[in-house]
Structure 1
Amino acid sequence: MLCLTVGTVVRVVERRSGMQLLEVQIAVTDTKELAVSFAHEPHAIGENLIVNTTAVRLHLGTGGYHLVVGKADAGSEIDLFPNQWGHVMKMRYSPWQLAVDTVEEQDSPFHELFAQQDLSLQGTPVLIGELHSLLPAAVIALKQNEPQAKIVYVMPDAASLPISLSGHVHQLQQLGYLDATITTGHAWGGDREAVTIHSGLLAARHVEHADIIVCILGPGVAGTGTPYAFSGIQLAEVIHAVSALGGFPMMIPRISFADARRRHFGISHHTTVLLKRFALRPVVLAMPQMGNDFDAVLDQQIVELQKLDKHIIIRGMVADRSRIASMEKEYGFGFTTMGRSWQADPVPFQTAVIAADLLSHWRADLAKVFSDDPQCFSSRDKLAALDLFWTRNEEQP
């Protein structure tokens, strides 16, 4: 299904870097509806646009907007996404394929850097997660813990492709919490572009000089109620890349006690399936300790994960609700996930904060361990390397 129609701009609702929200008059339905344009040119009232209406017609929740393909009455060739040196195409062979300035390609000033075969993340911690809605809580907690730390967001392509769709990224950069963004694969629009998740992570470290990397999927994840077809499965590739490149992989599990779907109650099946079957390298998993009856549910689910003898699970007491409320106020926009406010479903946000707090607590010790043994976190036996870290720092997982 691919539905295209013509709409006329009647109002420009919002303009921000890389994105315009427009109200358009749809000719075939004679209704005024919202559409998003990612073109780097202003739209004006009265313009006729070709609009993709497919997602809205299917009543999908991703944004609830139509997507602008282009101007219906453009009289000449227009460059809607200017670049400098790039010839690598993203969204290849789609009607919106575009050439971007990737950090790795031959004309890039960073090409020689990426021509090295032994580039490493140098023990840099990478905070990994599925739900884009948790990005603000994680990043704000990291910045509160370490105001001087440089935090870089790497967005893979399993969910939304244009990063400008994310209001969270825009707001976090405006407030100075995020220092840079990198889009990988077919995702596009970051401060830097990369061809793969591997080079995107390396760019975060060596081009943007990240102290901490956050790699959470963009908005608009897909799920099918099966253990094989959900956007979060891409996180296995992220875990493998961080591990193979000598980074420190730490994951925010997807947890909720407000989701009515049984498969997402407690630790979501998106997390358990990923860790049990598809993540072939160990990851450090931050688990909440809530001090109520929900702990019994988590305890049982954690036992199943521990049977794998593959991942390291760390428990931490959840952040007080007053801290989440304070962070939300500082952020300036509401914390919501899957249509629920943090007050209705606090555990996802508390879990993200726990992961950020633990990572900040260990970061100085991680740097020391790496300086002692440069190959520590890139060894094939990653679990042994992580165990070595806990032993040296007298931490008990």
Structure 2
Amino acid sequence: MSAQVPESRIRWRRGTVTALGRTWRDSVELEVDVPGDGALRALAHPSVVGTPEVGDAVLLNTTAWAQRLGTGGYALVVAFPDRLPADPTGPGHLVKGRYTGLQVTVQGVDEQETPHHRVIAEAEDVGGMPVVVADLHSALPAVLAGVLATAPQLRVAYVMTDGGALPAAFSRTLDGLAGSLAGVVTVGQAFGGDLEAVTVHTGLLAARHVLGADVAVVAQGPGNLGTGTPWGFSGVAAGEACNAAHVLGGRTVGALRISDADPRPRHRGVSHHSLTAFGRVALGGVALPVPAELPADLEVQVAEDLAGQPDRNPVVEVEVEGLDAALRDLPVGLSTMGRGLDADHAYFLAAACAGRYAASLVRPQ
């Protein structure tokens, strides 16, 4: 009896590059003509697959494109088979995307051959550095706005976890924030940051002791996986990030996901993602900043939602003066689940309050 051939879990297509679009960081948008599908919007990461040119034959993974995903709805370039890039020659033996067809090798800040190995090996803690943990990547610029509106001299590093997109290059937000951040550390299976690290723990140590950050923000890359179940969402890892910050002596701050605009009841008021990650997964205590000014109905709902938080998680009211202006002055557009600043103001304001509160915790060096 012949073995059954397993069904493919990837939607493969071949096509031809017909046009090049916008570029950012390590990303290039393409238009690809695919027989049977027509013109597709595709995305290539040149450091992984090489630099595209019009006329290139291209092999695509169109799974996300076919599902019309909101964040990652691109056809993704797997290879330009007729014009492969040169072999890598740089240092590094950390493999990310391990044992997939697109695993990449990077140099980790924590591996032996890096000049930072001794610093990471000898560091025992982050010296009380405030660590803001958020569920969604969209909170990052708002948290940054809150920090810098309060104390513009502070250095803020971003530690990107692997719950969403794995390539940091996918984030147009990071491209727009270049120069505003002390640096990006990609941890776990995420890659493409200014520094690479194996774990959230060494990522936080690198943020503090290599990048010289006063404040770190930890959140997954663009995208989010949720199932509508109490535990089945990628943001559960936010609670584990709080545990990492706590064990390293950080002062942990939760950026609450607050909304009166989300059409899903489980995300209105304080999202069940925040309540679970901070209230049930994080074990060491997380400060939970809340804007001092919210619409009356939302204020009541938020208070009711947070009433069940454990005593180890203090709820802190934060003044919002100047934060709206700081959010509007950001060099990047704000968007969460397709909603901008005015459409979901409370969400971004809450993230900015987390940044403001973190700034107030910074100890003089």
| TM-score bucket (shorter structure) | over 0.9
2:106 maps to 100
Aligned equivalent of 1:382: none
Q: Give the aligned partner of residue 299 of structure 2.
A: 295
Instruction: For 1:55 and 1:108, locate their aligned partners in 2 and report how far apart those are by CA, in whole Å.
Output: 36
Write the letter of the residue equivalent to 1:361.
S
Counterpart-to-counterpart distance in 2, 1:143 and 1:123: 19
The alpha-carbon distance between structure 1 residues 62 and 130, as it changes in their structure 2 partners (threshold 3 A), is same
Aligned counterpart for 1:130 among listed residues 135, 139, 143:
135
- Indicate conservation of the 8 Å contact 1:5/1:28, yes or no: no
Write the deviation string for residues 290-334 of structure 1: whole angstroms up to 9, x where unpaired: 2522211112112111xx2221111224457xx53x435433443
Which residue number corresponds to residue 139 of structure 1? 144
For each residue in 1:241-261, what CA deviation from the matched residue of structure 2 results, as whole angstroms up to 9, or x when unmatched? 100001111110111111111
Whether 1:25 aligns to 2:27 is no
Task: Tell me the TM-score normalised to structure 1 length.
Answer: 0.85
Counterpart for residue 17 of structure 2: 9
Instruction: Indicate conservation of the 8 Å contact 2:149/2:356, yes or no.
Output: no
What residue in structure 1 maps to residue 362 of structure 2? 363
Summarize the alignment of residues 160-199 of structure 1 with structure 2, pairs less than 5 Å apart: 160-173=165-178, 176-199=179-202
Distance (Å, rounded) in 1 between the aligned partners of 2:148 and 2:303: 30
Query: Given that residues 5 and 52 in structure 1 are in contact (C-alpha distance below 8 angstroms), is that contact kept between their aligned partners in structure 2?
Result: yes
Q: Are 1:58 and 2:64 matched, yes or no?
A: no
> Helix, strand or coil for the counterpart of 1:293?
helix
Pair 83,172 (structure 1): closer, same or farther in 2 beyond 3 Å: farther
Report the counterpart of residue 6 of structure 2 in structure 1: none
2:153 to 142, 148, 155: 148
One-letter identity of the residue aligned with 2:115: P
Secondary structure at the aligned position of 1:198 is classed as helix
| Percent identity for Structure 1 against Structure 2 | 36
When residues 77 and 331 of structure 1 are mapped into structure 2, their CA distance, relative to the original with a 3 A threshold, is closer
Q: Aligned in 2, Cα 1:83/1:113: closer, same or farther, shift over 3 Å?
A: farther
Partner of 1:260: 263
Query: Does the 8 Å contact 2:146/2:354 carry over to 1?
Result: no
Partner of 1:88: 94
> How many residues are matched?
354
Change (3 A) 1:111 1:230: same
The answer as to 2:277 corresponding to 1:277 is no
Matched, 1:220 2:223: yes
Q: 2:165 touches 2:222 (CA, 8 Å); kept in 1? A: yes
Query: Unpaired runs of 5+ in structure 1?
Result: 369-397
Alignment of 1:63-74 (within 5 A): 63-74=72-83
**Aligned equivalents of 1:201 and 1:215: distance in 2?**
9
Partner in structure 1 of residue 348 of structure 2: 349
Please, what TM-score do these two structures have when normalized by structure 2?
0.92
Cα contact 2:145–2:327 (8 A) shared by 1: no
Alpha-carbon distance in structure 2 between the residues aligned to 1:15 and 1:342: 25
The alpha carbon displacement at 1:12 in A equals 0.7
The SS at the match of 2:46 is coil
Q: Secondary structure, in 3 states, of the residue corresponding to 2:13? A: strand
SS in 2 for 1:23: strand
Q: For residue 242 of structure 1, give the secondary structure of its aligned residue in structure 2.
A: helix
Amino acid at match of 1:120: D
User: How far does residue 212 in structure 1 lie from its aligned partner after superposition?
Assistant: 1.1
C-alpha deviation, 1:67, in angstroms: 0.5
Q: Is the 8 A contact 1:131 1:219 kept in 2?
A: yes
Q: Which shifted more, 12-21 or 201-210? A: 12-21
Q: Which has the higher helix share?
A: 1
Structure 2 unmatched runs, 5+: 1-8
Separation of aligned partners in 2, 1:124 and 1:333: 26
Checking the alignment, whether the CA contact within 8 Å between 2:130 and 2:361 is kept in structure 1 is: no
In structure 2, the residue matched to 1:380 is none
SS at structure 1 position matched to 2:252: strand
In structure 2, distance between residues paired with 1:83 and 1:12 = 27
Which AA in structure 1 matches 2:344?
A: D
* One-letter amino acid of the structure 2 residue matched with residue 327 of structure 1: A
Cα RMSD, aligned residues only:
1.8
CA displacement at 1:112 relative to structure 2: 1.9
Matched, 1:78 2:86: yes
Aligned residue for 2:235, secondary structure, equals helix
Distance in 1 (alpha carbons) for counterparts of 2:93 and 2:35: 37
> Which of 186-195 and 60-69 deviates more?
60-69
Q: How far apart, CA to CA, are the structure 1 residues paired with 2:142 and 2:207?
A: 20
**CA distance in structure 2 between the aligned counterparts of 1:343 and 1:170, rounded to whole angstroms:** 23
Match of 1:304 in 2: 308
State the partner residue of 1:232: 235
User: In 2, distance between residues paired with 1:56 and 1:127?
Assistant: 33
Cα displacement string for residues 22-77 of structure 1 (whole angstroms, at most 9, x for unaligned residues): 11111232x11111111233211000110000011122222321110011323x66
- In the TM superposition, residue 278 of structure 1 has moved relative to its aligned partner by 1.5
